[in-house]
Each structure stands twice: as C-alpha cells, then as structure tokens.
Amino acid sequence: MALRIDEPASLKALNSFGVAARAARLITLDDPADLDAALALIARAPRALVLGGGSNLLLAADFEGTVLRIALRGRRIVFDEGHAAIVEAAAGENWHDFVCWSLDQGLSGLENLSLIPGTVGASPIQNIGAYGVEMRERFDSLEAVDRRSGERRRLLAGDCRFGYRDSIFKHPEGAHWIVLSVRFRLSRRFEPRLDYGELRAELAGARDAGAVAAAVIAIRRRKLPDPVVLGNAGSFFRNPVVDAAQADALARRHPDMPRYPADDDRSPGVKLSAGWLIDRCGWKGFREGDAGVHDRHALVLVNHGAATGAQLLALAERIRDSVRERFGVELEPEPTIVR
Ligand SMILES: Cc1cc2nc3c(=O)[nH]c(=O)nc-3n(C[C@H](O)[C@H](O)[C@H](O)COP(=O)(O)OP(=O)(O)OC[C@H]3O[C@@H](n4cnc5c(N)ncnc54)[C@H](O)[C@@H]3O)c2cc1C
C-alpha cells in the first residue's frame, strides 16, 4: 500500500484537545514496508512531529512541518512460558484495545492501565501510569528506528531510562527514536495491585484481572472527561517533586496538603499533588472563552469547543504562575507542547 500523504492537513480530529491546528503535511504510516519512504520524507522536512493518538499533545500553533502519524497495527504472543508470556503490539495499536486483548488471552498485568487513551507506541514515551501501576513494570523491550539514520534497534528498559511520566524519548538524547512496537511481560498468575483505596472499594471483593479492569474503567468514566465530549489531554501537569525541606516547610503552612514519597531513582524527594495546588489557587471550573479547567478535576485543562492551542497554553501559563507565587512550586506540563 502506498503512503498516505495529505498536504496541508487538519489535525483537529487527531488531537484529544480538539484544537483546530493544521500541519503543512501529514503522512500516515500503516504499512511497515513504507517506513523507509516515510523516513526519507521527514528527513527532508523543515520540522517533523511523530503522532500517535494525539492524547498527550497541545498543538499551540499550526505545525509548519511534516507530521508522521504511526498507524502500524498488529499484536501477538511472542513467547509463551505457561505461567507468563511476552506479548507484542505494533505502535499504532490502540492502548485500551491492547489491554482488553491481553486480558482475553488470560494474561494479567495491564488491567490497572485500562482506558488510558492513545497508542501502544506512545506508552513508553511518558511511561504511562495509573492506579498504582506504571507501564515500565510490565515492559520487556521495544523496537525503534532512528529517524536520522534508519537504524533499527531493540531497546531494553535500561536504554529507555524510565522515570515518573518520563523516559529518554522525552529528552534530546532519545528524541530521534521512533517506536515501532513494544513488548510486555505479562502473567497468568493474577497478582492484584490494589494500593488505591478507591479501586478496592469499587471492586467490592471481586478478585480477578477482568474485575480490576472493569473497576478502573468505571472510576475513570466517573472522574475524567471523555475527550470525545469535552476536549482535554488528561492531567495537564505532572505532580511536582520537591526536596524534603521544602515539603516540610509547605506542610507546616498547609497541614492538609497531600504528599507522597517520590519513589523514583531519577527524582528522589517528595511528590506533591499538582491538582491540589491548582485547586487551592482557585482554578477549578475556571473558564475564559472556550479554554477552561475542568469543574471536578483541577488538573485537567479543557477545550469547551473553539479554544485555540495558544489560548490553552496561555491559561496553563497563568496556572503555573499562580502556583509558583502562592507555593513556590514549579509545575511542568505533562503533554508535549508543539509550538
Ligand atoms: C482523558 C485522558 C486521560 C488520560 N489518562 C492518563 C493516565 O491515567 N496516565 C497516563 O500516563 N496518561 C494519561 N493520559 C495521557 C495519554 O493518554 C498518554 O500519554 C498516552 O500514552 C498518549 O498516547 P498517544 O498515542 O495519544 O500519544 P500522542 O499524544 O500522539 O504523543 C505523545 C508524545 O509521544 C510521541 N510519540 C507518539 N507516538 C510515538 C512513537 N511511536 N514513537 C516515538 N514517539 C511517539 C509524540 O511525538 C508526543 O511527543 C490521558 C489522556 C487523556 C486525554
């Protein structure tokens, strides 16, 4: 099949904020045989952006370059050791469909990560996590291609340098990799991860991976806005990690402030709740034009319809400024900001 190329192209339906940005050129890669041709095109482009499901992106402006949308499909069991198996999915597979497929194979491990929007290929980029589990805990390896040289490599966890909502792919030294497929090590022995009280309550005693997935789905549907109905990119800021002295000083002034051990080699310290900090600055439910903050979730910026990426970014900056002024804490955006 030939590469699909649209020039120019609207990205409105390809980003979960529903921002009406355009790209000078959009290439859709759905056949691995077209990879070299796609790489040759993006090598000649003034700028290039790799796109999965567009659910962790803010398109702050039109993109005067080439967008390469990874739509490669396919999933399989690579090795089956009986009690455990290595499974693989192509980068363009929908993440939630892949989680459901793995559960249908009798394999557990990904159930806490049900219903996270986006593709399998993007899951290592920010080491997706939810309800006490991070992708890296189930990760085996991935295949990536160097967009500059066309070299293909299998990368192991150590190569990917996973951290809290972080990996090498988010940094200049890893930004040249395009993920083609990801492998996970999953288990036939269900080991529940029910650290979240809300998840335990929702389960009401049921104890299998399918029940955990159903409980996670129910909670997420209740709490998070559906991007099809209300444009958003999930949590807009990462939970900030501060040193113990700053956390203690803040806790003395705000005794009800939530705090958790950062539990991360790459960022030791104390993790604070970005949602709590933003809420305390009075942003929950704020709306200016069509850019706003969700009325039940201070961490979720929303597009009520016709907000531009620039308006959403300006709102994010105001939120950051107010948290910095009130608490002296710096918030970092979680989505990729495309300017
Ligand atoms: C309602 C909602 C809830 C969410 N909940 C969570 C949550 O609980 N936990 C969580 O961690 N995230 C969450 N997210 C964020 C998002 O779902 C994840 O980050 C997801 O992995 C993004 O996948 P995507 O395919 O849409 O990536 P995109 O938005 O398309 O891309 C994100 C980044 O990855 C890069 N990228 C994408 N594909 C590739 C590839 N194949 N190779 C190299 N780079 C690539 C892009 O260039 C970009 O920098 C949520 C988002 C929404 C809208």
CATH topology of domain 4-70: 3.30.43
Taking only the tens place, the pLDDT of each residue in 236-246 is: 999 999 999 99
Q: Which of 16, 29, 47, 55 to mutate to test the pocket of ligand 1 (most atoms within 8 A of CB)?
A: 55
**Has residue 266 got a pLDDT over 70?**
no
Cis peptide bond prior to 8, omega within 30° of 0: yes
Q: Which of 96, 116, 164, 221 to mutate to test the pocket of ligand 1 (most atoms within 8 A of CB)?
A: 116
Taking only the tens place, the pLDDT of each residue in 11-58 is: 999 999 999 999 999 999 999 999 999 999 999 888 999 999 999 999
Taking only the tens place, the pLDDT of each residue in 43-101 is: 988 899 999 999 999 999 999 999 999 999 999 999 999 999 999 999 999 999 999 99
How long, in residues, is the chain?
A: 339
Residue range(s) of every CATH 3.30.465.10 domain in the chain: 75-223
Phi–psi pair at 327, nearest 5 degrees: -115, -10
Residue range(s) of every CATH 3.30.43.10 domain in the chain: 4-70
The CATH architecture one would assign to domain 231-338 is: Alpha-Beta Complex (3.90)
Euclidean distance between the first and the last CA atom of the chain, given in angstroms as a whole number:
32
**C-alpha to C-alpha distance for 25 and 30, rounded to whole angstroms:** 16
Q: How far is the CA of 52 from the centre of ligand 1 (A)?
A: 7
Looking at domain 75-223, its CATH class is alpha beta
Taking only the tens place, the pLDDT of each residue in 280-333 is: 999 999 999 999 999 999 999 999 999 999 999 999 999 999 999 999 999 999
Q: How far is the CA of 41 from the centre of ligand 1 (A)?
A: 24
Alpha-carbon distances of 266 from 55, 161, 190, 269, 324, rounded to whole Å = 25, 9, 29, 10, 23
Taking only the tens place, the pLDDT of each residue in 159-186 is: 999 999 999 999 999 999 999 999 999 9
Residue range(s) of every CATH 3.90.78.10 domain in the chain: 231-338
